[in-house]
Amino acid sequence: MTEPQEQNGRDYAGADDLQLVAWAREDRAAFGELYSRYVNRIYNYVYYRTGNHQDAEDLTSRVFFKALAHIDRYVDRGVPFSAWLYRIAHNQVANWHRDRSRRRIVPLDDFMLDGEAPEAPETVTESSEEEAQLLELIRALPPERQQLLVLKFVEHLSNAEIGAIMNRTEGAIKSLYHRTLLALRGGLEGKRDES
Amino acid sequence: MQLSSLSSLFRRPSQRWQRNLLMAHADALVAGSPVSEQMRLACARSGETELKALLALAERIERAMPPVAPSEQFVMELRQRLLQAEKRQAVSLWGRVQRLPLHTRVAAGIGGATLTAGVVFLATRSVYEALGNRRNRRAITA
């Protein structure tokens, strides 16, 4: 990253998100620092929600352009900047799924196994066939459950952070996680019965 | 944490207790703590087969979802585009108008003046017509 550590007497690397947001309203370098901090996380999030690198890049771009355009609107009311960014990402992914379903009406199984297979996470990680099957089931879950799994297992966020992003209490997050595991187990058993 | 002390946790499972245990296991898992495996083993020893299956499933999810990284080229290009875009947004509307070529500004001025004159003419004409109609009606009634 070519981010300058200091410019205009400002210590970007040492500043917290809130300070950077305040600077970023008029200072491009401050937004650059925010971008550096979150680009990988947002990319990961979008990647596991879409299943391919091309769309992950496209949506990651949209998320940051949106954040840049609306940075004036961000006000810290107990929701951290990262949570605000994830919410933008969540909305972008939701729009992407909606547009995609409008353009092509295909069975869910076909959607899961379409031409993007070479770039799907399962191949990238060289995981086993079972893991590929599991990822397929995860992508068939309702959006909020997918979101929870990505935030927990890919982003390694705490329950409080996930709660802030999803606008839920920590208790609700735990409950959702429990239900998600039960649903996945049911899905895996169903697959086993089919084969 | 020892396996024996963990086993005592599995005596009275309730929904809430299960939820807490599952989430604690997930947290230990993503933190790379060996406690997550000890939890699963303790669970197996206590005969909690359903919980054991869910903990094993969580471990599979964790393995199936390793972090990925965007390409360096993408990260750099997007960064440049963002910084340039912000620069463009910082220019005000008036600033952008002033940057236009002279003939474009003159044409826009003439066009704008013509449009305004047309609107004013139409509005005035309808007002005069309304007043004329009113005068005629009064004359007829008189």
The larger pLDDT score, comparing residue A125 to residue B3, is at B3
Same domain, A81 and A141: no
Is A173 within the bounds of a domain? Answer: yes
Instruction: Please list every residue in chain B whose beta carbon sits closer than 8 Å to the beta carbon of residue A171.
Output: 19
Of A58, A76, A107, which one is at a domain's C-terminal end? Answer: A107
Per-chain mean pLDDT for chain B: 83
pTM of the model: 0.70
- Which of A32-41, A116-125, B44-53, B106-115 has the lowest average pLDDT? A116-125
Question: Of A178, A174, A179, A176, which is closest to residue A159 (Cα–Cα)?
Answer: A174
- Which domain covers residue A73, as residue numbers? 12-107
User: B76 to chain A, minimum CA–CA distance in Å?
Assistant: 8
Same domain, A67 and A142: no
Instruction: Please list every residue in chain B whose beta carbon sits closer than 8 Å to the beta carbon of residue A149.
Output: 61, 65
Instruction: Please list every residue in chain B whose beta carbon sits closer than 8 Å to the beta carbon of residue A44.
Output: 67-68
Same domain, A18 and A90: yes
- Does the beta-carbon distance from B65 to A32 stay under 8 Å? no
Is A1 within the bounds of a domain? Answer: no
Is A142 within the bounds of a domain? Answer: yes
pLDDT value, residue A174: 96
Is A5 within the bounds of a domain? Answer: no
Measured distance CA(B88)–CA(B101) in Å, rounded: 18
Question: Of A37, A138, A29, which is closest to residue A82 (Cα–Cα)?
Answer: A37
Say yes or no to pLDDT of A166 above 90.
yes
- Per the CB < 8 A criterion, the answer to whether B3 and B41 are in contact is yes
A3-13 in b/e form (b: 16+ CB < 10 A) is: eeeebeebebe
N-terminal to C-terminal alpha carbon distance within chain B? 107
Measured distance CA(B11)–CA(A179) in Å, rounded: 22
Of A73, A107, A141, which one is at a domain's C-terminal end? Answer: A107
Per-chain mean pLDDT for chain A: 84
Question: What pLDDT band is residue A153 in, cutting at 50, 70 and 90?
Answer: very high
- Does the beta-carbon distance from B78 to A60 stay under 8 Å? yes
Same domain, A193 and A170: yes
- Express each pLDDT in A69-110 by its tens digit: 999 888 877 789 999 999 999 999 999 999 887 765 444 444
- Per the CB < 8 A criterion, the answer to whether A49 and A93 are in contact is yes
Same domain, A93 and A158: no
Mean pLDDT of B43-52: 78
> Complex ipTM, two decimals?
0.77
Q: Extract the tokens encoding A84.
A: 């605000």
User: Which residue type occupies A33?
Assistant: E
CA–CA distances in Å: residue B62 to residues A11, A130, B43: 36, 13, 19
pLDDT value, residue A89: 96
User: B98 to chain A, minimum CA–CA distance in Å?
Assistant: 22
Length of chain A: 195
Mean pLDDT of A43-63: 95
Measured distance CA(A10)–CA(A45) in Å, rounded: 30
Chain A residues 53-112 with a CB less than 8 Å from chain B: 53, 56-57, 60-61, 64-65, 68-69
Total tally of structural domains belonging to chain A: 2
The CA dihedral of A28, A32, A38, A44, to the nearest 10 degrees, is: 110
Nearest CA in chain B to A131: B64
Same domain, A99 and A30: yes
Same domain, A101 and A181: no
A vs B, Cβ pairs < 8 A, gives: 116
Same domain, A183 and A146: yes
Beta strand spans in B20-115 (E): none
| Torsion sign (Cα): A136, A139, A140, A144 | positive
**CATH number reported for the structural domain that contains residue A147 in this entry:** 1.10.10.10
Interacting residues of A5 by C-beta distance below 8 A, sequence separation 6+: A11, A12, A13
Same domain, A99 and A127: no
- Express each pLDDT in B71-128 by its tens digit: 999 999 999 999 888 555 555 677 777 778 888 889 999 999 999 999 999 988 888 8
pLDDT value, residue A77: 78
**CATH number reported for the structural domain that contains residue A68 in this entry:** 1.10.1740.10
Mean pLDDT of A26-52: 93
- Per the CB < 8 A criterion, the answer to whether B5 and B39 are in contact is no
Of A107, A129, A161, which one is at a domain's C-terminal end? Answer: A107
Ordered DSSP codes for A39-101: HHHHHHHHHHHHSSHHHHHHHHHHHHHHHHHTGGG---SS--HHHHHHHHHHHHHHHHHHHHH
Is A167 within the bounds of a domain? Answer: yes
B4 touches chain A (CB under 8 A): no
Give the three-class secondary structure for A126: coil
Mean pLDDT of A10-34: 90
B60 touches chain A (CB under 8 A): yes
User: B2 to chain A, minimum CA–CA distance in Å?
Assistant: 24
pLDDT value, residue B10: 57
Nearest CA in chain A to B18: A178
Is A116 within the bounds of a domain? Answer: no
- Does the beta-carbon distance from A122 to B64 stay under 8 Å? yes
pLDDT value, residue B140: 79
Give the three-class secondary structure for A7: strand
Is A44 within the bounds of a domain? Answer: yes
Same domain, A101 and A130: no
- Per the CB < 8 A criterion, the answer to whether A44 and B68 are in contact is yes
